[in-house]
Each structure stands twice: as structure tokens, then as C-alpha cells.
């Protein structure tokens, strides 16, 4: 019998992980949501519930579907619980050493035919795959944030990824109602290679005093018809994530055009990482966001 993906394991119950769990459960997959602490899993499950309530309010489905989907998600703080998964998607922090450590712990528990994937937005799939016991069953499945709303998934093959792994991944992405775009395994793939330098350039525009936070975001919203200004978007993504992607581009392609703006570095050093820390290019602690420059 041909291998089929029925049970999906997700490592990391944060913003990306809980979003992926949400769409997988709604599409009929059994989901094991794993994280290092029970509190993080509880928080992830609460977020899924809240996001589903919002989708019900928009008339996308009913309460009965929500209950069925939530019942498909099992939380676990034990990595051994992923032994039954047919596909595991790693959604940990965007640091290569953390991901490698997770794969080293995880691989001995996986069944031989299980597919291992990463949601990395910028790190080499080939290099991550080489650190596992199954480079031919390894692939990049990069979701966009927020997962329940965003239509695109970037599929990225490493140099060793087998055709079967690629085909099964395409089927999986289609079944959860997303559209895939195939990217080659080069730093930051497609979306972030184009998007992050634009954000970095917006930060340079602020750094050089060409425009204020408000002026830059208004200009790009109304002048380029972007739904969100680049600095507002940077805060939404997380300035630490923006910086790490720019560093990957700069190191991986050795081109000065990818040099992270010193102001971005300064904000990250200050711990002003955007919405998640309540301060970034905007201050979110009051009634409405106020520009910090």
C-alpha cells in the first residue's frame, strides 16, 4: 500500500505552529502539537480556539466543525509522542542550532517512512536535511503568517529530497486548502528574499531621516497599495525574525545590498521586537499604536 499522510506532528505551539495545527485539523488530519512546556501547548490551543471562533463569526464553518477539529488535536510535551506521525513539521525559533538539536532528539522516535519538514523561512533545507537520518524524506514546507488566513506555502526541496517526498508534500498542501509555490533552496527562498530587503530598505529610509514611521507606512499603503506599511509589517513579523532573515541573506549571498540596517539591529538589541514585546517601530501599550520615531 502506498504511504499516506494521516497524522501530522507539529513541533512548536507558537504563532506558526498553532496556525498550522489549526488548518491541518480543519482539513481532517489528526494532529500532535508538541512543545517543551505544557503551558505553551495550553496557550497554543487557546489561540486555535479563539481563531476558530473568529472564523465561525465570518461564516466560514459552524460550531460542529470546530468541535470536531479541536478534538483532532492532541497536545504533548513529550517528543516521543511524535512516533506515530506520518509527517512532522518543525516550527521552532529561526535558529539553526535549535532546529538541529530538535532533529537529533526527534529522529530516533520517528518511523522510517515518516516525512520530516521544517517551516524555516530562510535556512538551507539541504544543510538541515543533512543533519538528520532521512535527507531524502526531508523538505521545506514554509507557511506564511498568519497561517489560517494566508493562502501561500513555499515548498522547498533540498538536494537529497526524493520525488515521493515532494509529491506527498504537494498533496498535503493542497488538501489543507493552500496553494504551493516551488522555490529552489537558496537563502530566504522567494517571498522573504523579496519582502525582507524591502522592509530593510524602509528601515534605512527611516534611519537616514527621509521619512518618519508614519510617513513611510502611509506612503507604501497609499502609494503602492500595500495592505500594511513595511514598518507595521516588520513589527507584525517580529524585528528579531526580520534581522535573522537579513543576516541569512547577507551571509548566504555575500552581497552588501542585504546588509541589515543598523537601526534594525539597535531595536533588536533594545528588546523592542514589535507587537510581541509591545514595542517596535510602534508602541502598542496604549489604546492605539503610536510611532516610536
The runs of H, that is alpha helices, within 131-190 are 163-175
* Contact residues for 1 (Cβ-Cβ < 8 A; gap 6+): none
Catalytic residue, from 119, 154, 169, 244: name it.
Answer: 154
The reply to whether 51 belongs to the active site is no
For the question of residue 169 being annotated catalytic, the response is no
Residues whose CB falls within 8 Å of the CB of residue 169, separated by 6 or more in sequence, listed in order? 87, 115, 117, 139, 141, 155, 180
Beta bridge partners of 143: 153
The catalytically annotated residue of 22, 117, 142, 169 is 142
Q: Per the residue annotation, which of 34, 192, 200, 244 is the catalytic one?
A: 192
Label residue 225 left, alpha or beta by phi (over 0 means left) and psi (-120 to 50 means alpha). Answer: left
Annotated active-site residue 22? The verdict is no
Q: How far apart are CA 131 and CA 254, in angstroms?
A: 24
Angle between helices 191-207 and 213-223 (to 10 degrees): 140
Between CA 292 and CA 217 the distance in angstroms is: 13
Q: Render 8-60 in DSSP notation, one character per residue.
A: EEEE--SHHHHHHHHHHHHTT-EEEEE-S-HHHHHHHHHHHHHHHHHHHHTTS
One of 117, 121, 122, 200 is an active-site residue; which one? 121
The closest alpha carbon to 94, from 6, 188, 5, 3, belongs to 188
Which active-site residues does the annotation give? 121, 142, 154, 192
Amino acid at each position: 500500500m502506498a504511504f499516506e499522510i494521516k497524522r501530522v506532528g507539529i513541533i512548536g505551539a507558537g504563532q506558526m505552529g498553532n496556525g498550522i495545527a489549526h488548518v491541518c485539523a480543519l482539513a481532517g488530519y489528526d494532529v500532535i502539537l508538541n512543545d517543551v512546556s505544557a503551558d505553551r501547548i495550553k496557550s497554543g490551543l487557546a489561540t486555535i480556539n479563539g481563531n476558530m471562533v473568529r472564523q465561525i463569526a465570518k461564516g466560514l464553518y459552524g460550531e460542529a466543525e470546530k468541535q470536531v477539529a479541536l478534538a483532532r488535536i492532541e497536545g504533548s510535551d513529550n517528543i516521543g509522542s511524535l512516533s506515530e506521525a506520518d509527517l512532522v513539521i518543525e516550527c521552532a525559533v529561526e535558529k539553526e542550532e535549535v532546529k538541529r538539536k530538535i532533529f537529533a532528539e526527534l529522529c530516533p522516535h520517528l518511523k522510517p517512512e515518516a516525512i520530516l519538514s521544517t517551516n524555516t523561512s530562510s535556512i538551507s533545507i539541504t544543510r538541515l536535511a543533512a543533519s538528520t537520518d532521512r535527507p531524502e524524506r526531508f523538505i521545506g514546507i514554509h507557511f506564511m503568517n498568519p497561517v489560517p488566513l494566508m493562502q501561500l506555502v513555499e515548498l522547498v526541496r533540498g538536494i537529497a529530497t526524493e520525488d515521493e517526498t515532494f509529491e506527498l508534500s504537494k498533496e498535503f498542501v493542497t488538501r489543507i486548502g493552500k496553494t504551493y509555490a516551488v522555490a529552489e533552496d537558496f537563502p530566504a527562498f522567494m517571498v522573504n528574499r523579496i519582502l525582507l530587503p524591502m522592509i530593510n530598505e524602509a528601515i534605512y529610509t527611516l534611519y537616514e531621516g527621509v521619512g518618519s514611521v508614519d510617513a513611510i507606512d502611509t506612503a507604501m499603503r497609499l502609494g503602492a497599495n500595500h495592505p500594511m506599511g513595511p514598518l507595521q509589517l516588520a513589527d507584525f513579523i517580529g524585528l528579531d525574525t526580520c534581522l535573522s532573515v537579513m543576516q541569512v541573506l547577507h551571509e548566504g549571498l555575500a552581497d552588501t545590498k542585504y546588509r541589515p540596517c543598523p537601526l534594525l539591529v539597535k531595536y533588536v538589541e533594545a528588546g523592542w521586537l514589535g507587537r510581541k514585546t509591545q514595542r517596535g517601530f510602534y508602541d502598542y501599550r496604549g489604546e492605539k499604536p503610536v510611532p516610536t520615531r
